[in-house]
Amino acid sequence: MQVFDELYDKYYSDVFRFLMKLCSYHQDTAEELTQETFFHTYLQITKFKGDCHVKTWILQIAKNRYFMYLRKNKNTEISISDALPYLSETTESEPEDKLFKKKLIQDSLNIIFGFQENMKYVVLNRIYCNMPYSEIAKRLGISQSSAKVLYHRGKLLLREKLKEEYGYEI
């Protein structure tokens, strides 16, 4: 498939650099994830709708591969509080990447602002203010364990709604 070969040649170094940054410059991991990214790009190339720049689409696949790698290799769930600050960085030079990140954050906030009041307060203060559960619980007049439960449920609900309503894989 000539189109795929052209995409691979054109974007391999961009995808590799992107994954190197995500992987804290572990070259073997970045190389493996880059190969997985292009394998999945090849499998899904007929599904590309053209809603965004092709590089943005491939980098989204790379990010999803990275998150899947973390889930498999650390046996821990990716925290939405870890993902959103990364996605809000503005160090990327590509305008498409900035627009994608801005849209993801806006979509996330739209969902969070639809949560019931206590859950909204807990999620926003944990993600954006890194406020301790004890402080959140004190301000809301609830127990720390209740704050933790609200945060956990809010993260799951946010992840679910981002996938259902917007097609994000976080």
Delimit the CATH 1.10.1740.10 region(s) of the chain.
1-78
Domain at 1-78: CATH code: 1.10.1740.10
Question: Is the separation of the CB atoms in 127 and 80 below 8 Å?
Answer: yes
Residue 82 has pLDDT above 60, yes or no: no
Within 10 angstroms of residue 148's Cβ, the number of other Cβ atoms is 15
Dihedral, 137, 151, 120, 81 alpha carbons, nearest 10: 120
Q: Which residues contact 150 (CB under 8 A, 6 or more apart)?
A: 118, 119, 122, 123, 142
Delimit the CATH 1.10.10.10 region(s) of the chain.
95-170
Tokens for 61?
Answer: 């696949």
The model's confidence at residue 80, banded by pLDDT at 50, 70 and 90, is low
According to DSSP, residue 7 is labeled H
User: What is the pLDDT averaged over residues 22-29?
Assistant: 82
Q: Which residues contact 151 (CB under 8 A, 6 or more apart)?
A: 122, 123, 126, 133
Mean pLDDT of the chain: 81
Tell me which of 56-60, 65-69, 109-113 is least confident: 65-69
| Domain 95-170 CATH assignment equals 1.20.200.10 | no
The model's confidence at residue 92, banded by pLDDT at 50, 70 and 90, is very low
For the ranges 60-69, 129-138, 143-152, the maximum mean pLDDT occurs at 143-152
Residue 110 has pLDDT above 80, yes or no: yes
Tokens for 127?
Answer: 């993600």
pLDDT of the residue at 89: 45
Residue 86 has pLDDT above 50, yes or no: no
